[in-house]
Homo-oligomer: A and B are copies of this chain.
């Protein structure tokens, strides 16, 4: 297996999906060992920091990539297997940001209120115990929360000649901010342009479902990634994720019900592909069996998840069993 290691310099970050020249050309089957900077571009490091003072809002959510996958053509399916996600620092940061967040006035939920107060929280990571530490600022309270590393942002170049900010989630993936994007899963994305041009970033050491204030426990991440290309199958309209235990579809739109509807329709299509269920039967099965944890209710589009446990379903091999194959390969890298 070819292994490519890459830690981008600051001037090499990508800020968009599409519109950027690839940093590498790789072949399917490559293993990438990447470093990703945090969504704050590393600028938020202290509880005394105010986001509006230390952040450059034109340089948030830096991406590592994009990678040009040889042979990838529109209509193919890109499979990205997250072999390992390891926090690259011993702390993560989160902050309220003026006019951002699910419970805040924003440029889209445009009301007449003053912005919420700014506050920054720093989470220390205890690698041995596998926890990050929440430290309240209004009272004397410290809580240990399990460290559950994930990537907020995984995406390819968008369709329709568009270039989208790395802050946006949509059909091309992007800033979906779902805790489902953790080590051990395979993400399937529709290839929209030659080479697919995928990139990753936005490591979270932990995130709640919905990402209420808009920023998770943001942290630089060491990412080990296996890349595969699937030809000759219908590519998914919306991003799919496969884990050992679940099938997952992520929809992104506004209002939130439309994001969720997209994930449901995506799952109905997937169940049809896997088992031959017609749409009404798949609709019924989801009605009784779907899990629907929210991903984010803060980004340019909201993201919602439909997932279903493999334990409830007959055995199947999505995309010819590529997930199982990559899962095994991942043990060797």
Which residues does A use to contact B, with CB under 8 Å? 15-16, 18-19, 58, 94, 96, 101-105, 107-114, 116-117, 119, 121, 123, 132, 134, 136-139, 141, 143-145, 160-165, 206-217, 237, 251, 253-258, 260-262, 264-265, 268, 275-281, 283-294, 297, 302, 304, 306, 312-314
Contacts and interface: CB of A to CB of B under 8 A. Distances in A.
A281 B137 contact: yes
B277 A138 contact: yes
A105 to B, nearest CB: 6
B109 A109 contact: yes
A258 B257 CA distance: 10
A112 B268 CA distance: 10
Contacts of A134: 284-285, 288-289
A167 B109 CA distance: 22
A302 B260 CA distance: 12
Among all A-B residue pairs, the 10 with the closest Cβ atoms = A138-B278, A255-B255, A209-B292, A163-B163, A208-B290, A256-B256, A113-B113, A292-B294, A256-B257, A212-B287
Contacts of A278: 138-139
A200 to B, nearest CB: 18
A141 B139 CA distance: 48
Given A110-B262, A258-B109, A283 B96 contact: yes
Given A94-B284, A134-B288, A291-B208, A15 B161 contact: yes
A96 B207 CA distance: 36
A297 B210 contact: no
Contacts of A19: 19, 161, 163
A283 to B, nearest CB: 5
Copies in the complex: 4
Contacts of A281: 119, 136-139, 141
A314 B101 CA distance: 26
A234 to B, nearest CB: 15
Nearest to A295: B292
Contacts of A283: 96, 101, 103, 112, 212-213
B210 A290 contact: yes
Given A161-B19, A255-B254, A277-B138, A114 B112 contact: no
Contact of A104 (B113, B260, B288): B113
Contact of A280 (B111, B116, B264, B275): B116
A288 B219 CA distance: 13
A315 B113 CA distance: 29
A212 B286 contact: yes
A258 B108 contact: yes
A297 B260 contact: yes
Contacts of A164: 162
Nearest to A266: B110
Contacts of A268: 103, 112
Contacts of A132: 288
A272 to B, nearest CB: 9
8 contacts: A103-B265, A109-B258, A110-B262, A119-B284, A121-B284, A136-B281, A161-B163, A260-B294
A165 B117 CA distance: 36
